[in-house]
Amino acid sequence: MADSSDDDELAEINHRWGRRVISTVRIASSAARLASRRLLRRQASVTDQVIGEKLAAELDEMKGMAMKLGQIISYFDGILPESTHAALRSLQRGAKPVAFSVMSAVIESAFEAPLGELFEEFEHVPVAAASIGQVYRARFHGVDVAVKVQYPNVRKTFESDTKRLRRLAGLASLATAVDGHAIADELRARLLEECDYEQEARHQEAFAAAFAQDPRIVVPNVVWERTRGSVLTTAWHPGRDFYAFNDAASPEQRAAAATALVQFAYRSLYGRAAINADPHPGNYLFPADGTVVFLDFGCVRRFDLDFLERERALTKVVLEDRRDDFRDAVLATGMVPKPKRFDFDVYWEQLCHHYAPYRVPRYRITLEHLAEAMRFNGPSNPNVRRLAIPPQWIWLQRLQFGLHAVLARLDVELAYGDILRNALAEPPRPLPVRFSA
């Protein structure tokens, strides 16, 4: 169990999380400097890398929502200079772990038993230190397992961060069609749900069952005997991380991986009415057998079938180049409360660019494609303040932009349209609300 030195470690964790407002100001300042350099098209420099490394270190230390934001920025290429993205990639697996004595106390408290009685072996050095918890390798019943352990008090930090976010969202949405409070409440619900590892285990088992027949997609099985609200144990799967795989893989191997990633994303969305809404590269492993292992099902978003059907219809209109049907399909989504003030031509151009990889027989997603997509979301777009964004739509965008960011790194030409059209044709069979162990 924990001793006095562990109390000091916990006090340090709480101190770090207690100065989040000051740290956020520094982070915002660093990000603004980097973004402005990018917007001004200044040449990348050593300064960009230094600022990026400092930013990564600050976010890594803070954990929680701040680190999660850094993870997202790290793979959304085109927002910041390339050297900064490279520096932020350490956040995908973490570099500054919390002491093992603190984390082992979380496990022992969850099961009310000593660690030595719970696992036959338990490595003290984590294999990953993420935004909410750390992952360790252990043995249970003679089999290697991965044990994710939640940081102490991380739920409280999320609650504090999301309260602050809700106030900012209300101000940011003034004079727009956006309900900032509704979006902030949606983010809060998903983030707090991530803190319930038993809920994550149910999500993970549901996805494992849904893709059990796909030989290219692997979702690790849950070990329920060693899973609690703050501890999640699953089967261990070896494999290279995304960047190691991408550096060493052949074009054929990268194409096979990209196919699996796209199929998992869109079959989940349209076939299962749910997505793993945290698609950053740190949540994939690439074993030698050519499969892709999908990790971390804490942030899962289920979709209402009526919302999904309207999105399905709009997507088909864009894919099939039916410009005459576009206005009605957009209005059916309910996202344009004042059609007379909305520029449908600009929105058509935006969605045609967004779905460009799927509108032609084969396509190679590039960093330039991502940068142009980001431009459509900037202040020059007359529709930015006129869309009434439903909370579900945010996660759909995060899935697609995140997926495209990963695919740009893989740098392969694929028949993306065939994969999406097959997914669109799937009848929806929603994941069960609860999936029994």
Supply the pTM of this predicted model: 0.77
Give the residue among 194, 436, 146, 148 at the shortest CA–CA distance from 300.
194
Beta-strand pair 128-129/133-140: antiparallel
Task: Please name which of 177, 251, 300 lies closest in space to residue 414, comparing C-alpha atoms.
Answer: 251
pLDDT the model gives residue 191? 74
Q: Which contacts of 106-114 are long-range, i.e. CB under 8 A and separated by 24 or more positions?
A: 106/149, 106/150, 106/151, 106/152, 106/230, 106/231, 107/147, 107/149, 107/231, 108/1, 109/230, 110/228, 110/229, 110/230, 110/231, 111/226, 111/228, 111/231
Please name the residue that has the structure tokens 């069960």.
Answer: 432
Tally of residues, the chain: 437
Write 66-73 long-range contacts (CB < 8 A, 24+): 66/20, 66/23, 66/24, 66/27, 66/161, 67/91, 67/94, 67/130, 67/131, 68/131, 68/132, 68/191, 71/131, 71/280, 71/282, 72/280, 72/398, 72/402, 73/31
Residue of 312, 313, 346, 350 lying closest to 328 (CA atoms)? 313
3-state secondary structure of 217: strand
Residues with Cβ within 8 Å of residue 378, at least 6 apart in sequence: 384
Can you tell me whether residue 363 is helix, strand or coil? Answer: strand
| Segments of the chain scoring below 50 in pLDDT | 2, 15-46, 62-67, 70-79, 168-179, 435-437
Give ∠ CA 313-345-330 in degrees, rounded to 5: 25
Determine the pLDDT at residue 57. Answer: 57
One of 3.30.420, 3.40.50, 3.30.200, 3.30.70 is the CATH number of 97-152+221-236, namely 3.30.200
**Span 227-275, pLDDT tens digits:** 999 999 999 999 999 999 999 999 999 999 999 999 999 999 999 999 9
Residues 6+ apart with CB under 8 A from 38: 79, 80, 81
For 71, the token pair is: 């993870």
* pLDDT 10s digits, 113-122: 999 999 999 9
pLDDT of residue 58: 52
Query: Would you kindly state where each structural domain of the chain is located, as residue ranges?
Result: 4-92, 97-152+221-236, 154-191, 239-437
Q: 64 is written with which tokens? A: 């929680």
φ/ψ of 414, rounded to 5, equals -135, 165
Q: Which residues pair with 294 in a beta bridge?
A: 284
- How much is the pLDDT for 53? 56
At 95 the pLDDT is: 53
Closest CA to 437 of 275, 226, 250, 240: 226
Which token pair is 166? 């809700």
- What is the DSSP secondary-structure string of 110-134? HHTS-HHHH-SEE-SS-SEE-SSEE
